[in-house]
Chains A and B, each alone.
Chain A
Amino acid sequence: MILDRSRDIGEFVPEKDDDLIICRCEEITKGEIRRAVHEGMWTMTEVRRYLRTGMGLCQGKTCGRNVKAIIAKELGVKPVQLEDCRARGPARPVEMGTFGDETEACIEE
Chain B
Amino acid sequence: MVRYDLIIVGAGPAGLSAAIIAAKQGVRTAVFDENERPGGQLFKQIHKFFGSREHRAKVRGFRIGEQLLEEARECGVEVHLNATVMGLYDKKEVLVMADGETHHFKADAIILATGARENFIPFAGWTLPGVMGAGAAQTMVNLHGVQPGSRVLMVGTGNVGLVVSYQLMQAGIQVEALIDAAPRVGGYGVHAAKLARLGVPFYLSHTIVKAEGTDKVTGAVIAQVDEKFQPIPGTEKHFDVDTICMAVGLSPMSELPAMAGCQMEDKGGAVPKVDACGETSIPGIFAAGDAAGIEEASSAMITGQIAGIAAARRLGYVDEEMFEAETDRLRASLQKLHEGMFSPQNRGRNDFTETDEGYPISQSLLHKGYMEDQEITRYPGAVSGKSGVHPVIECSQNIPCDPCQDACKFGCIRVGDEITRLPCVNEEAKCTGCGLCVASCSGQAIFLVDETYDEEHAAVTLPYEFLPYPQAGDKGVALGRDGREVCEAEVVSLKINKAMDQTALLTIKVPREMAMTARFFKKKEA
* Residues of B with C-beta under 8 A to A92: 34, 84, 86, 97
CA separation between A65 and B102, bound complex, in Å?
30
Q: Which A3-35 residues have a C-beta within 8 angstroms of B? A: 17, 20-22, 24, 30
Q: What secondary structure prevails in chain A residues at the interface with B?
A: loop
CA separation between A20 and B128, bound complex, in Å?
12
For A, the interface residue count at a CB cutoff of 8 angstroms equals: 31
Smallest CB–CB gap between B80 and chain A, Å? 13
Asked whether B117 is an interface residue with its Cβ less than 8 Å from the other chain, the reply is yes
Q: Which A68-94 residues have a C-beta within 8 angstroms of B? A: 80, 84, 86-92, 94
Q: Which B79-129 residues have a C-beta within 8 angstroms of A? A: 84-89, 95, 97, 100-104, 117, 119-124, 126-127
Smallest CB–CB gap between A19 and chain B, Å? 9
A interface footprint on B237-267 (CB within 8 Å = 1, 0 otherwise): 0000000000000010111101100001010
CA separation between A102 and B102, bound complex, in Å?
7
CA separation between A84 and B256, bound complex, in Å?
13
* Residues of B with C-beta under 8 A to A98: 97, 100-102
Smallest CB–CB gap between B196 and chain A, Å? 31
Contact of A66 with B97 in the complex, beta carbons under 8 Å = no
* Residues of A with C-beta under 8 A to B89: 89
* Residues of A with C-beta under 8 A to B254: 87
Smallest CB–CB gap between A78 and chain B, Å? 10
Q: Which B279-324 residues have a C-beta within 8 angstroms of A? A: none
Residue of A nearest to B264 (CB): A84
User: Contact partner of B124 among A17, A65, A108, CB < 8 A?
Assistant: A17
User: Contact partner of A66 among B120, B264, B269, B270, CB < 8 A?
Assistant: B120
* Residues of B with C-beta under 8 A to A109: 1-2, 103
CA separation between A86 and B264, bound complex, in Å?
12
Contact of B84 with A66 in the complex, beta carbons under 8 Å = no
Smallest CB–CB gap between B347 and chain A, Å? 15
For B, the interface residue count at a CB cutoff of 8 angstroms equals: 36
CA separation between A17 and B468, bound complex, in Å?
46
Contact of B120 with A62 in the complex, beta carbons under 8 Å = yes
Contact of B270 with A84 in the complex, beta carbons under 8 Å = yes
* Residues of B with C-beta under 8 A to A91: 84-87, 255-256, 259
* Residues of A with C-beta under 8 A to B123: 20
Smallest CB–CB gap between A48 and chain B, Å? 14
Contact of B122 with A66 in the complex, beta carbons under 8 Å = yes
Contact of A106 with B101 in the complex, beta carbons under 8 Å = yes
* Residues of A with C-beta under 8 A to B87: 89-91
Contact of B266 with A80 in the complex, beta carbons under 8 Å = yes
* Residues of A with C-beta under 8 A to B97: 90, 92, 94, 98-99
Asked whether A101 is an interface residue with its Cβ less than 8 Å from the other chain, the reply is yes
Contact of A106 with B104 in the complex, beta carbons under 8 Å = yes
Q: Which of A17, A94, A108 has the most CB of B within 10 A?
A: A94
Contact of B95 with A107 in the complex, beta carbons under 8 Å = no
CA separation between A106 and B98, bound complex, in Å?
11
Contact of A101 with B101 in the complex, beta carbons under 8 Å = yes
* Residues of B with C-beta under 8 A to A17: 124
28 contacts between A and B (CB under 8 A): A21-B126, A24-B127, A59-B255, A63-B120, A65-B251, A65-B269, A84-B258, A84-B270, A86-B258, A87-B254, A88-B259, A89-B87, A89-B88, A90-B87, A90-B95, A90-B97, A91-B84, A91-B87, A92-B86, A92-B97, A94-B86, A95-B100, A98-B97, A98-B101, A101-B101, A101-B102, A106-B102, A109-B103
Beyond A87-B259, A91-B87, list 6 extra A-B contacts (CB 8 Å): A90-B86, A90-B95, A90-B97, A91-B86, A99-B102, A106-B102
Q: Which 4 A-B pairs have the closest CB atoms?
A: A89-B87, A87-B258, A90-B86, A87-B259
